[in-house]
Structure 1
C-alpha cells in the first residue's frame, strides 16, 4: 500500500504525519483523503502532491512501495 506523508498544514489537518492507503491511482487517493479528512480538503488543491519526488498526473498508478508527499505552500524569505 502506498505511504502518504503529510507536511506542515496538511499534517495539522489530518492529525498525523503519514498513513498507508489502498487507492490505486493518485486521483483516487486525492479524493479519498479529502473526503476522510475534511480539514485537508480546503488546502489540498493548493498543495504540491509528489509521487516518488515528482509531480505526476492524477491518472498515475500507485504501487505498493510508492511514497506520496503532500506539501502545502510554504512561505519563505
Structure 2
C-alpha cells in the first residue's frame, strides 16, 4: 500500500520534509520505514516517540501499530505536542 506521511512542527523539522510517500501494510511497517529513512537525524526518533498519529483523520490512540492496517491512499499524520496561544 502506498500511503502519504505528513510531518508537522518538530517532526517536520527533524525529517527535513513536509511529507513523503511510503509503502507499508501496517502502521508498524510504516514507523520502521520512516525511522530507517531518517536515521541520520539526531532528533527524529525521539520526536516520533511522542507524536500523536492519525490515519486518514482517525486518531490511532493506544492501539498497537501492528494492528493498524493501512489502505492504499491513506494519509498518516504525525503530530508532536506543541503549544500555541
Q: TM-score, with normalisation over the residues of structure 1?
A: 0.89
Across the aligned residues of Structure 1 and Structure 2, the Cα RMSD in angstroms comes to 1.2
Map 1:1-77 onto structure 2 (within 5 A): 1-38=2-39, 39=41, 40-56=44-60, 57=63, 58=65, 59-77=67-85
- The structural deviation recorded for 1:72 is 0.8
Please give the alpha-carbon distance, in whole angstroms, between the structure 2 residues aligned to 1:30 and 1:47: 11
- Mapped contact 1:26–1:60 kept (Cα < 8 A): yes
Unaligned runs of 5+ in 1: none
Structure 1 residue 55, shift from structure 2 partner: 1.9
Residue segments in structure 2 that go unaligned for 5+ positions in a row: none
Q: Could you list the structure 1 runs, at least 4 aligned residues long, displaced by more than 3 angstroms after superposition.
A: none
Segment of structure 1 superposing worse, 29-38 or 15-24: 29-38
